[in-house]
Structure 1
Amino acid sequence: MAQSNSSTKKRTFTHLTDTERGEIVAYKKMGLSLREIAKETGRHVSTITRELK
């Protein structure tokens, strides 16, 4: 029997582009904080943190 009322949300994330990765590194070299980088790139701060690890 198929379940028709799923309570899980469809994921809407997208991978970082090479350009975005370059921007993140450049912003970090400029001395911006993780939150400032997230705001500039329109990404969540946790995404920035994972990318810089």
Structure 2
Amino acid sequence: MAADTVLAGGEIEAALQVEDLQHEPLRQQVFWEARSGPIEEVLVGARAADRDQKHP
């Protein structure tokens, strides 16, 4: 996937399943941010936030 790839809703949901983000508010944030920007950039921040929430 190219770094500037913008995905459709179903593709974003599939990417979220692969990432296995545990916190629903974070999943929602990623979904909406990824609709308007590159999913890879959004997921980098989401992974860090998810990790911080799992291990504060």
TM normalised by structure 1 equals 0.39
Tell which structure's C-alpha radius of gyration is larger.
1
Q: Which has the higher contact order (CA 8 A, sep 6+)?
A: 2
Q: Which of the pair is proportionally richer in helix?
A: 2
TM normalised by structure 2 equals 0.38
